[in-house]
């Protein structure tokens, strides 16, 4: 069992930055990839970024060049640095723990509770 707790969401103006954190606990946490997904009102949950335990990362095209995912294995904590935020980035952001290479929401093993990010224009 893995527990994930996000923090760092909030309200920011367009062009601003936020950093989300995801504190992980539980069994064999370091064996999981850590990912971020988001869900805007009326839309399906979508992939944002992932960091595999070997260090590789992958991003959705919509955030590439603006968001950076990282993880501190010693602290069992993951981060999502979000720069140049746009109103269309407004969503609930979820931390996720996954095994394997798939980045679909269905492949997620564990979810955090979510944190709201609102970007005003």
Per-residue pLDDT of the chain (121 residues; tens, 9 = 90+): 899 999 999 999 999 999 999 999 987 888 899 999 999 999 999 999 999 988 899 999 999 999 999 999 889 999 999 999 999 999 999 999 998 888 999 999 999 999 999 999 9
The DSSP bridge pattern shows strands 10-13 and 18-26 to be: unpaired
30 Cβ contact list (under 8 Å, min separation 6): 53, 73, 76
59 to 1, 32, 67, 110: CA distances (angstroms): 26, 17, 8, 19
């Amino acid at each position: 069992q893995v527990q994930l707790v996000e923090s760092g969401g909030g309200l920011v103006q367009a062009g601003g930055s936020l950093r989300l954190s995801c504190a992980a606990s539980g069994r064999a946490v370091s064996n999981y990839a850590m990912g971020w997904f988001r869900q805007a009102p009326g839309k399906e949950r979508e992939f944002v970024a992932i960091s595999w335990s070997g260090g590789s990362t992958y991003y959705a095209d919509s955030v590439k060049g603006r968001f950076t995912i990282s993880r501190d294995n010693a602290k069992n904590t993951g981060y999502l640095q979000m720069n140049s935020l746009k109103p269309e980035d407004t969503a609930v952001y979820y931390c996720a723990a996954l095994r394997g290479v798939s980045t679909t929401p269905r492949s997620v093993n564990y979810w955090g509770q979510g944190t709201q990010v609102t970007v005003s224009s």
